[in-house]
């Protein structure tokens, strides 16, 4: 027991002597811990770089040479220093200089949130300004129409937040959010004379290239989400091609091929290839100045005496999933919004019913999305959809289709947008009333691929022709492109019959119906005077008289031509005689 006490006291004295021995420390460097951070017992706090040094160096308060610590004696500071050797030296690595192109963002993010969505758009400007007379001209045009600017900007509040969000996610200039002002005045139902449709004005072929569905029941060129995605994809692609936003916008309006050819032409001529230097159509020449004018007005509305509506910096709509076919009117009623507002957010639905298999999501105002779901769960008003799809088994007249599906011809034409003097071709998908006992919704294949194919209405005209030597029913049917059985029926003979040379054969030739002819073919006319009162009747009569005069004039022209030939062949004396006769 006494030996144990002596051993403990000796160990305690030895540990006290070891702890009082000072450690070596490196000289003070620019990143060393200041003296105030050092302990009073002489143990210096060192950085990770100094701890990672292989050779110990004296402390600032000790002599340059000190007694080294025995390898077998480790204090807590030594253990920490050993652990620091395994850590990489990253805390005090010198910073390298980078240029602006290597920066992760174009501007320094402000800590102050935007006041509204207009302020957010202004903060994201990244396109170079265009300054010329065309910009000033467009500014004056817009300033002279303040009501137009307010209506256009007020219409944009439903869609602008989503576009700005998508642009920021793609790191694209927020000026592009103003492009629908130029394209369609933010009207998703707009259709140009060249058949471009939607808020971003996609042509049918371009829309298909960017996977925008176009069928009998929906047109994604008008869809808010799909068309915005496709437009930004297209603009990003064009910027990658030309490396200049002004040229990319010109290509969006004029086509990348046209802009590329204009650039190549200037290059061959040794001319500049910027947007103002290219030879382009007047519409494209004004395209970027229009956008610049809108940008200037949004940037400084007070300078241009423009009134911009307040657009809060938060989403306007929310996506809602539907699982059953539903009438548009019922969907709007369940969301407790007007039919006009529902169509403004869902402009791609161009029929009175939403097919869940083809349009599984709809857009509703943020505050009405939950209301819609609550009302849908509690709905007990019967069927959600009163329309379904019917496939035409053969080419049929709309009147025949309407009779078969149990609706009026006028309603059938209105619901399916069938113009006059057109027939429905086989395989077309038509929207027809849904029976009360029908519980199955339209399939995904029909909802995604249904098409309405129309053709001009055909009227058969009775014509009598002469058979040639060796003609039979089959040969004449091939010549006039009719069915052999029908030709035999028209002439009350058999399909294998042969015709005598110059025998009269009745052929019903198909002609396209126009004007009164089409109306006569579509149904009987109650009063003869209605045909004469039709607007096309005078024109048809005039064309008939003109044709008759032309037919009558043919023999006269032939006679005149023969006389001229005779005059050319006659001797000079006869020619002089004819000249005298003509003068008389």
512 DSSP β-pair partners = 458
Half-sphere exposure of 339 (CA within 13 A, CB side): 8
Contacts (Cβ under 8 Å, ≥6 apart) of 450: 215, 216, 217, 389, 429
148 within some domain = yes
551 within some domain = yes
Burial of 262 (0-12, 13-18, 19+ CB in 10 A): buried
Q: What DSSP state is assigned to residue 467?
A: P
Same domain, residue pair 464 and 542: no
Q: Answer with the residue of higher pLDDT: 248 or 510.
A: 248
Cα angle value 87/90/92 (rounded, 5°): 120
Range with lowest mean pLDDT among 78-87, 156-165, 264-273, 451-460: 78-87
- Helix or strand run (H / E) with residue 433: strand 429-433
Please write the tens of the pLDDT for every residue from 347-387. 999 899 999 999 999 999 999 999 999 999 999 878 899 99
Query: What is the tally of structural domains in the chain?
Result: 6
Residue range of the domain that includes 556: 537-576
361 within some domain = yes
Range with lowest mean pLDDT among 39-53, 123-137, 304-318, 540-554: 39-53
Confidence (pLDDT) at 541: 41
Task: Read off the pLDDT band of 47 (50, 70, 90).
Answer: very low
582 within some domain = no
This model's pTM is above 0.85: no
Same domain, residue pair 136 and 191: yes
210 within some domain = yes
Confidence (pLDDT) at 5: 65
Contacts (Cβ under 8 Å, ≥6 apart) of 384: 324, 325, 326, 327, 330
Please write the tens of the pLDDT for every residue from 79-124. 444 544 444 454 455 666 655 555 554 555 667 889 899 999 999 9
Share of the chain above pLDDT 90, in %: 60
Confidence (pLDDT) at 94: 62
d(CA 433, CA 390): 9
Contacts (Cβ under 8 Å, ≥6 apart) of 537: 515, 516, 531
d(CA 413, CA 188): 24
Please write the tens of the pLDDT for every residue from 520-554. 333 333 333 333 333 333 334 444 444 444 444 44
d(CA 415, CA 11): 102
| Set 91, 139, 166, 183: catalytic member | 183
Same domain, residue pair 269 and 123: yes
Residues in the chain, how many? Answer: 584
d(CA 190, CA 182): 12
Same domain, residue pair 71 and 173: no
Same domain, residue pair 253 and 326: no
Same domain, residue pair 137 and 225: yes
426 within some domain = yes
**CA dihedral sign of residues 134, 135, 136, 140:** positive
Our answer to whether residue 183 is catalytic in this structure is: yes
């Amino acid at each position: 027991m006494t030996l144990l006490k002596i051993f403990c006291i000796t160990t305690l004295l030895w540990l006290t002597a070891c702890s009082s021995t000072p450690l070596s420390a490196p000289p003070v460097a620019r990143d060393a811990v200041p003296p105030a951070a050092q302990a009073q017992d002489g143990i210096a706090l060192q950085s990770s770089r100094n701890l990672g040094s292989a050779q110990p160096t004296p402390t600032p308060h000790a002599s340059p040479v000190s007694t080294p610590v025995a390898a077998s004696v480790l204090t807590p500071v030594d253990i920490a220093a050993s652990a620091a050797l395994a850590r990489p030296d990253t805390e005090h690595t010198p910073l390298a200089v980078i240029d602006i192109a290597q920066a992760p963002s174009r501007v320094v993010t402000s800590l102050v949130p935007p006041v509204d969505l207009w302020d957010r758009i202004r903060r994201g400007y990244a396109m170079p300004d265009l300054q010329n007379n065309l910009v000033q001209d467009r500014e004056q045009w817009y300033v002279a129409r303040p009501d137009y600017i307010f209506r256009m900007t007020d219409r944009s509040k439903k869609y602008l937040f989503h576009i700005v969000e998508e642009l920021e996610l793609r790191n694209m200039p927020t000026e592009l959010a103003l492009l629908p002002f130029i394209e369609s005045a933010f009207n998703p139902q707009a259709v140009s004379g060249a058949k471009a449709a939607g808020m971003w004005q996609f042509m049918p072929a371009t829309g298909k290239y960017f996977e925008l569905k176009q069928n009998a029941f929906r047109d994604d060129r008008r869809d808010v989400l799909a068309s915005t995605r496709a437009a930004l994809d297209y603009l990003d692609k064009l910027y990658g091609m030309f490396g200049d936003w002004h040229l990319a916008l010109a290509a969006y309006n004029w086509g990348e091929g046209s802009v590329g050819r204009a650039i190549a032409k200037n290059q061959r001529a040794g001319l500049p290839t910027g947007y103002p230097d290219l030879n382009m159509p007047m519409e494209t020449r004004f395209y970027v100045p229009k956008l610049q004018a809108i940008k200037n007005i949004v940037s400084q509305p007070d300078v241009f005496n423009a009134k911009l509506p307040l657009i809060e910096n938060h989403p306007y709509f929310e996506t809602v999933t539907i699982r059953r076919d539903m009438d548009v009117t019922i969907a709007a009623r369940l969301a407790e919004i007007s039919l006009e507002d529902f169509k403004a957010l869902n402009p791609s639905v161009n029929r009175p019913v939403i097919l869940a298999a083809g349009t599984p999501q709809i857009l509703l105002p943020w505050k009405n999305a939950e209301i819609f779901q609550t009302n849908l769960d509690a709905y007990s008003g019967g069927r959600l959809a009163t329309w379904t799809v019917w496939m035409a088994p053969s080419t049929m007249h709309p009147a025949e289709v309407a009779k078969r599906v149990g609706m009026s011809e006028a309603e059938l034409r209105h619901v399916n947008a069938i113009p006059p003097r057109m027939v429905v071709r086989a395989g077309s998908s038509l929207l027809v009333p849904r029976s009360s006992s029908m519980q199955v919704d339209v399939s995904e294949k029909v909802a995604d691929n249904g098409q309405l194919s129309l053709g001009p209405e055909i009227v058969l005209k009775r014509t009598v022709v002469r058979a040639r030597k060796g003609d039979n029913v089959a040969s004449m049917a091939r010549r006039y492109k009719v069915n052999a059985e029908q030709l035999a029926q028209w002439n009350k003979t058999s399909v294998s019959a042969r015709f005598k040379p110059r025998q009269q054969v009745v052929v019903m030739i198909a002609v396209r119906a126009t004007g009164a002819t089409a109306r006569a073919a579509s149904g009987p006319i109650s009063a003869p005077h209605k045909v004469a009162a039709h607007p096309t009747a005078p024109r048809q009569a005039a064309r008939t008289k003109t044709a008759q005069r032309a037919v009558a004039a043919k023999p006269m022209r032939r006679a005149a031509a023969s006389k001229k030939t005779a005059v050319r062949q006659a001797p000079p004396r006869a020619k002089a005689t004819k000249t005298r006769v003509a003068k008389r």
